[in-house]
Amino acid sequence: MHIEYTAEQMAIQPKLLAANINPESFLATDYLNHFNEIVMLLEMIPDMPELIEDTEDWAPKTYIQHFEDSGFQAKGLAISAFELAPNPVRVALDHICGELNQTISTTLLGLSKLNVIERGLSPAARELIKQRVATIQNLLMQLNEVVHGKFDGNALLSTAAVKTKTDAKAKPAQTEDVQTQDDIDKLFD
């Protein structure tokens, strides 16, 4: 994607490269760690369901919240750069992070309702978790492309517009992918 940078953006680009912030996207890969940590836990849950308890502290964080809470050495610069990021980059980031947050949150909500100590995970539950992890990993790959400035913003935006229209007709976004207790109980032997 070709982006025409403003004078203000061009002035900060040399500082970004020195601070491990992508000078094309104005984003730092450190934000990916917020999602990578929960994915690693989710990957292990099918074999070690007791790790479900370790997922309870995860909550969505915006890019700025992540850096405000992080030990990233150049977090002030990361936040300033984000505020200067080209609009197509920010739109793509917001869209993908929205999907990531929703998929992870609904997965964690379903897991929190499981009583694995007494019942264990059924093969169907393990498979569902693996499918959710695969979906999350795909979204993370897309987010990685955005952070590295290697994405087709026009394709992403047109896909997002179509998905938004389809979702609006299908059902409210808040109920998407939320499992009832009956749905969760059906996953067990």
What whole-number distance in Å separates Cα of residue 33 and Cα of residue 48?
22
Structure-block tokens of residue 81: 């750069």
On whether residue 35 sits in a domain, the answer given is yes
On whether residue 2 sits in a domain, the answer given is no
Question: Mind giving me the DSSP string for 93-124?
Answer: HHHHHHHHHHHHHHHHHHHHT--HHHH---HH
- pTM, entire model: 0.79
**Per-residue pLDDT reduced to its tens digit, 105-154:** 999 998 887 766 556 788 888 899 999 999 999 999 999 999 999 877 65
Query: Are 49 and 116 spatial neighbours (Cβ–Cβ below 8 Å)?
Result: yes
In which domain, by residue range, is 91 found? 7-185
On whether residue 128 sits in a domain, the answer given is yes
User: What is the residue type of 66?
Assistant: H
User: What is the residue type of 142?
Assistant: Q
Tell me phi and psi for residue 21, to 5 degrees: -120, 130
How many structural domains comprise the chain?
A: 1
Helix (H) or strand (E) holding 11: helix 7-18
How many percent of the chain have pLDDT more than 90? 63
Instruction: Please give the C-alpha separations between residue 178 and each of 41, 74, 75, in angstroms, as whole numbers.
Output: 20, 38, 35
| pLDDT value, residue 116 | 63
